[in-house]
Amino acid sequence: MNFLQEYFENNKSNAIHKWIHYFEIYDSHFNKYRDKDPVILEIGVYQGGSLKMWKEYFGNGARIYGIDINPQCKQFETDTIKVFIGSQEDKNFLTSVISQIPRPDIIIDDGGHTMNQQIITFKTLFEHIKNEGIYLCEDLHTSYWENYGGGLRNKNSFIEYSKNLIDSIHAWHSKSKYFKKDKYTDSVYSLHYYDSILVIEKRNITKPNAKITGDIIIPIDEFPLPVYKKSLFKRIKRRLLPK
C-alpha cells in the first residue's frame, strides 16, 4: 500500500471520494514529483480532502490549486492551497485561472465528468502544462453513460475524443495528405489508459529516427520484405554500405 492509499484509508479530516485502484496509478506517475516543489492544479474540490492529500504527498514546497463551481469550496483555502470558483466549461474562466498561477507540473481533472467539461478542460489547459508534465483525467467511465453525454462509441465522448491523440502521436509516419501532424504530435509523449483514467505525458517531441548499428551479416536484399520496407532498406543500404 503506497502513501496515498494509506493516507486515504486513515483519513479523519475532510472527505475524499476515490476508486481504490486509482492510488496505484497516481503513485506510479506522480512519485517522481514528491519533494520537488511541484505546481498542482486539481479540477473538482468536493470536500477539500484531496487538496490536503496532495499537499501531504508532494511536500511542504508544493503549490496546490483547486477549481470548483461550488462557492462553498472557497473555505478550503489555506496559506498554501488556493481555490478558484467557476465552471470548467468556461474557457475564459480557465484561461483566467491559468494566467494567475505558475505553469502546472500536474493537472488532475476530477470535476463534473461530463463530456463537454472534460474535452473543453483538456483543450484549454493542456498546452499550459510544463514540459515533461502530466495531465490526468479520471472517472472516464462516464464516457459510457448517456446522462453525462457519453455512450459506447459516442463520437462526442471524451474516450472517443482522446482516441484521436493516438493518431496524433503517429502522424510523423503518415503518407496521407489528409493526415498531418498537429500540436499534439509535437507535445504528447505518451498515453496511458487505465480503468476510468487517462494519463497523458507531455514533452517536446521531435521527429523520430531509425538507424542500424553493427555489422550487416545477411544481405538486406535477401529478406522477404514488404515493398515499403524494401525501399526503406535500399535507402539505408546506400548510406551504410561502401560503394
Which residues, including other chains, have CB under 8 Å from residue 88's CB and lie 6 or more apart?
Answer: 43, 67, 69, 94, 109, 111, 112, 117, 120, 121
**222: exposed, middle or buried (Cβ count in 10 Å: 0-12, 13-18, 19+):** exposed
> Is residue 25 within 8 Å of 197, Cβ to Cβ?
yes
φ/ψ of 7, rounded to 5, equals -60, -45
Q: How many C-beta neighbours within 10 Å does residue 52 have?
A: 19
* Angle value at C-alpha 135, between 45 and 63, nearest 5 degrees: 55
Q: Which of 17, 113, 170, 173 is catalytic?
A: 113
Nine-digit cell at 126? Answer: 493542456
Residue-wise over 7-24: b if at least 16 C-beta within 10 A, else e? bbeeeeeeebebeeebbe
113 is catalytic: yes
Indicate which residues carry an active-site annotation: 113
